[in-house]
Structure formats: structure tokens, C-alpha cells
Amino acid sequence: MRPAVAALPLMFILLSGCVAKSAFDLATLPVRAGARAVNTTADVYDRVTVSDSERDQKRGREIRQREERYGKLTREYDKARRDCSRGDDDACDDARSIYAEMDAMRASVPYEARY
């Protein structure tokens, strides 16, 4: 037998901490890499799923805010028209500007049919 091969067990005993750890790390490397790839894929999938959910919540929040703003403008417009019909010229100008803002918003506020 070659002397280097015969000395190999002795080297493992003398350098047991370093060599054994390195050998163990080398042997388990493919398993750890595979597990890391699976975890990375799962994390990406979770982020995409959460992102869709958050995007839906954000869109719903924006729609509700537009609907609330449109409702407030409607109330202000009705009040301005009442005041305008009573002869208040400033209220007539306000009613026109409010109507213009409502008209610009109308396309972005979803229509819900009422039955």
C-alpha cells in the first residue's frame, strides 16, 4: 500500500476537526443547495401571491376613495345648485367648477346598476 494512503486515517485523527467538518460540508453541499433552491422558489411564490393580494386591496381602497370623493362632490354640487337657484352668482360658479370635476371623475368611478 502506498504510504500516503496509509497515512490518511492518521491524518483524519490528527486533523479531525478541520477535515471532518470540511468532508461533512462537502458531502452535504448538494442537499443544502437543493433545499435552498426549494425555499427560494417558495419565497418567490409567496411574495407574488401576497403582492397580488396587496394590489387588489390597494385597488379597492382607491375605488372606495374615488367613490367617497364623488359622493362629496355630488352633495356640494346639489347645495351649490340650490344656492344658485336662489340668486347666488358665486354658487353658480362653484356649481360649474364642481360639475367639471365630477365629469372628469365619472369615467374612473365604477358604475353599479341598482335593481
pLDDT tens, residue by residue, 28-82: 666 666 666 556 666 666 566 667 788 888 888 988 999 999 999 999 999 999 9
Does the pTM surpass 0.75? The reply is no
- Nearest CA among 103, 97, 63 for reference residue 80: 97
Q: Residue 52: its pLDDT value, please?
A: 78
Q: How far is CA 29 from CA 23, 26, 43, 102, in A?
A: 10, 5, 21, 64
For residues 49 and 65, what is the distance between their CA atoms, to the nearest angstrom?
A: 25
Mean pLDDT (whole number) for 97-115: 79
- Asked if residues 105 and 66 have their Cβ atoms less than 8 Å apart, the reply is yes
CA angle at 95 for the pair 113 and 107, rounded to the nearest 5° = 35
Q: Which of 42-51, 72-81, 91-100, 106-115 has the lowest mean pLDDT?
A: 42-51
- Nearest CA among 78, 111, 109, 107 for reference residue 94: 78
Q: Residue 73: its pLDDT value, please?
A: 94
